[in-house]
Structure 1
């Protein structure tokens, strides 16, 4: 697989990079669908480079997608994770995703990409960025994208919409969304979490809204699982994600699915070395990730 690193924008004098997985670019005559991947890491660690993410991106590239794994600004210090700083970190992430998407739209014709089939997949903080960006698009609040643009689909592993409002109000219906979440997630709200000035609208909250508004989506709930669902699907549940892409995005089926998965022993972050061992290998910012994993394991015990 040929991986090409691209600078998609510069913010605050910092170049933001994404890795393009190019193997299929020379084998397709029709415009290719695009998958943008956003890593996790609590807005303070992580990067586009990681063995599990490479495995995931390679998989979809081999299925005929042009895949881009994106770095975004990491501005949230764990010691200063107050409302204002969390909202600012999410805002920066949404801006960077919009910049990366605008870049893809600009090169689409030259590279043979389908501007109408751009999907976003995110894990943890990356899922928050993806879902919040979709919400902002539907509210008409992102001006850096082409007029009338929307994503073709969102895959959110343990995500939420984070805003400064009390409730979510969709001016336009969102694109099809796959919500994968453990209902015992200790880091990202599964339901609704509100503190003055900030709403976390988790997967169950979104699912209930989408049901009421007849918005096509697939809610994949892991009973008893914690934040491991931010990571686990990249290694263990690619089939479900492929099914979502094929039926909801490519075929345009207006389906409404709620899957409740329950293992005899629910998966937990403390068992990450057995559940998703590739995740722990190959980070560019290894020291930060080691610290974050130790924190995950400590809280999960």
Structure 2
């Protein structure tokens, strides 16, 4: 019976590829299962070859085969999405330059085993908050001349995290010819909305003032945010009225704070209402206007810049519904946009830039940037 425990455990773990994680530790495990699929595939394959003399061999083998198929499923589904990804993004944002279409695959199984060499960044203080500098990690473009700049806003529930998070995409974009400025911003509960949006505005002003030194094209900025940072990036893009913002990229961000408060996340994952109250200063009942003023979906209009949305359907921290609702609003307003839906993926799937979700999202980001900054 003890030998049957491992097949049962692997099968239950494999269900994370199709069902949302029910608890915080399982959410972390889901990232490994979904975006490092070769690990559970290898473990399951070894079990199939080595587990002998079990009491119920047929049950054991069926469980292991079922687990193996589910562990492989993110790769299969990623390949299916990849087949139409270039066509879908080009239909919404126009054709990208020839070099991107010719040299870049949206998904490669072989690439799952690769790593990314991060480049060095330069720390630049861009403003002071109570005598403490807010800084940006600046990745200069690998190409010469005046180049567009991507401003990256980190996640962390508005109260934690910093600009060193997930540097791999910053390095990739720098090599592709973009300056990347990953910013720190004022955190809750000491600072509340809209303080981080003002920080984005000040970061843009700083980069413009130093454009000649760093060879920045001041007419071509794109905002990119993850999770809480995506809410900040979207709100900045839709409310700052900066013509230099040519696009905004939203990785699994909360776009509708009013709806998000009404449908809290699983408390075994995160107390989402407490997180929002710390950021917005009160409950929704006490200050509904704060939630409305911090909901990007309510500010999306015909004048909003092109928007790329990227979200996993199994996200247990920020519901996929946020992106679905914003996608409909942008469609209604006629804003060029695209929602890249990853059916197996959970929150933070791009922790592995070369995983199935990481590869697809990186391709979509590269295509989007190439299109909106031409």
So what's the TM-score if we normalise by structure 2? 0.53
Q: What residue ranges of structure 2 are gaps of 5+ in the alignment? A: 1-118, 258-289
**Pairwise mapping of residues 216-231 of structure 1 onto structure 2 (< 5 A)?**
216-229=336-349, 231=351
Q: Aligned to 2:170, which of 57, 62, 67?
A: 57
Comparing both structures, which one devotes a greater share of its residues to strand?
A: 1
1:204 is the counterpart of 2:204? no
**Secondary structure at the residue paired with 1:206?**
helix
Residue 36 of structure 1 corresponds to which residue in structure 2? 151
Distance in 2 between the 1:229 and 1:153 partners? Answer: 22
Shift of 1:7: 0.4
* Residue 158 (str. 1) matches residue 158 (str. 2): no
> SS of 2:180's equivalent?
strand
Give the Å deviation of 1:150: 4.2
Question: 2:274 maps to what in 1?
Answer: none
Residue of structure 1 equivalent to 2:364 = 240
Give the SS at the match of 1:152: strand
Aligned to 1:7: 125
1:175 counterpart residue number: 305
Alignment partners' CA distance in 1, 2:247 and 2:203:
16
Shift of 1:10: 0.5
Cα deviations across residues 200-257 of structure 1 (Å, max 9, x unaligned)?
A: xx2111110111121100111122533234645684331121112223x135xxxxxx
Residue of structure 2 equivalent to 1:263: none
Question: Residues 172 and 17 (structure 1 numbering): CA distance in 2 closer, same or farther, change over 3 Å?
Answer: same
Partner residue of 1:66? 179
Q: Residue 239 of structure 1 aligns to a residue in which SS? A: helix
Q: In 2, are the aligned partners of 1:124 and 1:230 still within 8 Å (CA)? A: no
| Uncovered stretches (5+) of structure 1, i.e. residues with no partner | 77-84, 139-147, 192-201, 252-301
In structure 1, which of residues 87, 94, 97 is the aligned counterpart of residue 197 of structure 2? 94
Q: 1:62 to 1:186 in 2, by over 3 A?
A: same
SS of the residue 1:179 aligns to? strand
How many aligned positions are there?
A: 216
Counterpart of 1:135 in structure 2 is 238
Between structures 1 and 2, the one with greater helix share: 2
Task: Give the Cα separation in 1 of the matches to 2:350 and 2:193.
Answer: 17
Q: Distance in 1 between matches of 2:185 and 2:218?
A: 21
* Structure 2 match to 1:144: none
**Against the structure 1 CA distance between its residues 129 and 232, is the aligned structure 2 distance closer, same or farther, given a 3 Å change threshold?**
farther
Structure with larger RCO (C-alpha < 8 A, sep 6+): 2
CA distance in 2, matches of 1:233, 1:215: 28
Structure ID, larger Rg: 2
User: 1:98 offset after TM fit, Å?
Assistant: 1.3
Q: Secondary structure at the match of 2:348?
A: helix
Question: 2:197 and 2:353 mapped to 1: Cα distance?
Answer: 23
Aligned-residue offset at 1:177: 0.8
Whether the 8 Å contact between 1:122 and 1:157 is mirrored in structure 2 is yes
Structure 1 residue 137: deviation in Å? 2.1
1:106 aligned residue (206, 209, 215): 209
